[in-house]
Amino acid sequence: MSFLGVEASLTGRRWIGPTAEVSRAAEAMHQRAQLPLAVCQILARRGVAAEAAEAFLAPALRDLLPDPRSLRDMERAAARFVGAVRARERIAIFADYDVDGGSSAALLLVWLRDMGHRATLYVPDRIDEGYGPNDEAMAALARDHDLIVCVDCGTLSHGPIAAAKGADVIVLDHHLGAETLPDCHAVVNPNRQDEDGALAHLCAAAVVFLMLVEAGRQLREAGTRGPDLMAMLDLVGLATVADVAPLIGVNRAFVRQGLRVMARRARVGLAALADVARMDTAPAAYHLGFLLGPRINAGGRVGKADLGARLLATDDPHEAAALAERLDALNSERREVEASVRAAALAQAEARGTEGPLVWAAGAGWHPGVVGIVAARLKEATGRPAIVIGLEDGIGKGSGRSVSGIDLGAPIQRLAQQGLLMKGGGHKMAAGLTVAEDKLEAAMARLGELLEKQGAHLLGPADLRLDGLLMPAAAQVELVEQIEAAGPFGAGAPGPRYVFADMRIFSARRVGESHLKISFGDGAGGRTDAICFDAYDGPLGAALENHGGAHFHLAGRLDINSWQGRRSVQLRLEDAAPA
């Protein structure tokens, strides 16, 4: 049964409320554990038992951290890494150009610097070199280094790793593995096909962190101490959120502890970036995903690929400030490029049709650095897996994003094995590909067939899952703080979403190009503000701005808005329906 009888909201979604079982479990937990009911509702929805509530609300890394040696090749990788440090060997770090790659590289660079050892950082150019190791770069690094560590890449790089003649190669990755692994010293990857999948939710920075835990163990066994790993959890938490890793298990502890470390502002690069992003509150998962992450990514998308990793690794405040300013400027440039490509891609996808199992668009000159973001926007707009490809000189470089329950990475990897793609791979929810322009139509048709077998063509507008009703008078800062105790919220752990029923809109105004700011309330004197991002990209903006005095049910998540020292509750509006 739909919540409040909403079968089709303004965005076409059915509203689903908490089940009777969840409601009963929440009430029982509230009485037994003496926790706020709002918190109990979240825990009950996550399947947390009353006796486990306390531990869930305070996840301890020591209790949740897996044994690094449970991953194949881990002990061997750490031993080679530690051996290289002891022997003062020349070490190179080959990293992907996104936040996860940059954080992974920074973890190693900082750890090595604390051990008195310097390493070479190499991040491939997104446009000239593409994703992952390439023959020329690996051969060049091998000529001048004894050990190459590939982070957030390398699992599928058989040829480039073979080109690294004379150097040992260690791969620390999390991307989906193939049936065979590259011939190198070690491949540590929870998504190898011979792993059990228990740690498949880890991002690459988490894999690197586990390797450093194992390296520290080996150093202690030899009577030596390694660097303080707890002080590096800000990098692991940042990568976990920015790479959209599910916030379950040890990932929750990584992010919770990482946010505490980040709040100390000891890492000069992150402190400088927070300042240019005008963060004036304690860091939260939202800031990692929407303020810091996009700026770090901007270097790899439209600027110099290694800027993000250099910012995260530097210990020079002046260098940090300069890099942060540069990344902030590049992020503004990225937004402009993205807006242009997004408009063209959406128009093309709509012309092609959005009712099939796959939505895709391709265009000449579309910047490879923004196709992933645009694919995510297409996915959100259509509720379908989406691929966006930039074409140049007969070659297409693209990125895809999927929806819950549909595996995109495996079919793309299969197309690469069958020769329809020049290269391809990734995760269930995100993937990258390179395709010859003359094979583009055939590749997309075949990908659509593979996704149809998973039922992608049967998807309708996603149901909007709601946690309950709230009145404006109850939406207080204290309530939001209690709710945040059950976080962090993000991928795999959605934050609670509430409905304010039968609300009158007092004011509505457009903010920027596409956002909507409203003030609403009930007949009892309660009043709350709301912000709806990108409202005018869909039906919400016009409907609520031109409300004509009508009442609406308003659904979204609660935030604390800080302005000039004053803290107030704000609804991040996601949907609405006529009351």
pLDDT digits (tens, 9 = 90+) for 305-351: 999 999 999 999 999 999 999 999 999 999 999 999 999 999 999 99
> What pLDDT is recorded for position 265?
97
Residues 305, 359, single domain; the answer is no
What residues pair up with 159 in beta bridges, in sequence order?
A: none
pLDDT per residue as tens digits for the range 17-53: 999 999 999 999 999 988 888 889 999 999 999 999 9
pLDDT of residue 256 exceeding 80: yes
Residue that finishes a domain, picked among 414, 439, 458: 458
pLDDT of residue 503 exceeding 70: yes
Residues 447, 437, single domain; the answer is yes
pLDDT per residue as tens digits for the range 554-571: 999 999 887 777 889 999
Asked whether 372 and 430 are in contact (CB, 8 A), the reply is yes
pLDDT of residue 427 exceeding 90: no
- Segment holding 554, helix H or strand E: strand 551-563
pLDDT of residue 125 exceeding 80: yes
Residues 30, 77, single domain; the answer is no
User: What is the pLDDT averaged over residues 254-267?
Assistant: 97
62, part of any domain: no
> What pLDDT is recorded for position 180?
96
> What pLDDT is recorded for position 302?
85
Residues 88, 44, single domain; the answer is no
Residue that finishes a domain, picked among 285, 313, 329: 329
341, part of any domain: no
User: What is the pLDDT averaged over residues 267-292?
Assistant: 94
Q: In this structure, is the dihedral angle defined by the CA atoms of residues 281, 285, 286 and 292, taken in order, positive or negative?
A: positive
Residues 9, 26, single domain; the answer is no
Angle at 573 between CA 568 and CA 577, to 5 degrees: 130
Q: Are strands 423-426 and 430-436 parallel, antiparallel or unpaired?
A: antiparallel
List the structure tokens of 354.
Answer: 């959005």
Q: Total domain count for the chain?
A: 4
Tell me which of 108 and 36 has the higher pLDDT.
108
> What pLDDT is recorded for position 494?
87
pLDDT per residue as tens digits for the range 528-560: 999 999 899 889 999 999 999 999 999 999 998
Residue that finishes a domain, picked among 442, 458, 474: 458
Q: What are phi and psi of 9, to 5 degrees?
A: -75, -175
Domain residues for 358?
Answer: 353-458
Residues 170, 207, single domain; the answer is yes
> What pLDDT is recorded for position 461?
65
Residues 413, 544, single domain; the answer is no
- Please report which confidence band the pLDDT of residue 491 belongs to, taking 50, 70 and 90 as the band edges: confident
Query: 462-489 burial string, b = 16+ CB within 10 Å, else e?
Result: eebbbbbebebeebeeebbebbbebbbb
In terms of Cβ atoms closer than 10 Å to its own Cβ (0-12, 13-18, 19+), residue 228 is: exposed
Residues 432, 487, single domain; the answer is no
177, part of any domain: yes
> What pLDDT is recorded for position 563?
77
Nearest partner of 274 among 222, 238, 223, judged by Cα? 238
- Please report which confidence band the pLDDT of residue 218 belongs to, taking 50, 70 and 90 as the band edges: very high
527, part of any domain: yes
List the structure tokens of 525.
Answer: 């004197």
% the chain with pLDDT above 70: 99
348, part of any domain: no
- CATH code, domain with 85: 3.90.1640.30
512, part of any domain: yes
- Please report which confidence band the pLDDT of residue 451 belongs to, taking 50, 70 and 90 as the band edges: very high
The answer for residues whose C-beta is within 8 angstroms of residue 257's C-beta and 6 or more apart is 61, 230, 233, 237
Nearest partner of 294 among 260, 342, 319, 327, judged by Cα? 327
The answer for residues whose C-beta is within 8 angstroms of residue 525's C-beta and 6 or more apart is 473
Helices and strands (DSSP H and E) totals, the chain: 21, 18
46, part of any domain: yes
pLDDT per residue as tens digits for the range 299-317: 988 888 999 999 999 999 9
Residues 405, 537, single domain; the answer is no
Give the rounded distance of the alpha carbon of 413 from its chain centre: 21
Query: What is the Cα gyration radius of the chain?
Result: 24
What residues pair up with 425 in beta bridges, in sequence order?
A: 432
User: What is the pLDDT averaged over residues 493-506?
Assistant: 94
Angstrom distance (rounded) from CA 312 to CA 297: 12
The answer for residues whose C-beta is within 8 angstroms of residue 52's C-beta and 6 or more apart is none
**Furthest-apart CA atoms within the chain: distance in Å:** 76
Most confident of 185-199, 272-286, 489-503: 185-199
Residues 198, 94, single domain; the answer is yes
Residues 25, 73, single domain; the answer is no
- CATH code, domain with 407: 3.10.310.30
Q: Are strands 395-401 and 468-469 parallel, antiparallel or unpaired?
A: unpaired
For the chain, the average pLDDT equals: 94
List the structure tokens of 386.
Answer: 């989406």
% the chain with pLDDT above 90: 84
How far apart, in Å, are the Cα atoms of 480 and each of 59, 404, 493, 557?
19, 27, 17, 10
Residues 450, 471, single domain; the answer is no
The answer for residues whose C-beta is within 8 angstroms of residue 289's C-beta and 6 or more apart is 241, 242, 244, 490
> What pLDDT is recorded for position 342?
94
Nearest partner of 299 among 97, 94, 93, 120, judged by Cα? 97
324, part of any domain: yes
pLDDT per residue as tens digits for the range 159-177: 999 999 999 999 999 999 9
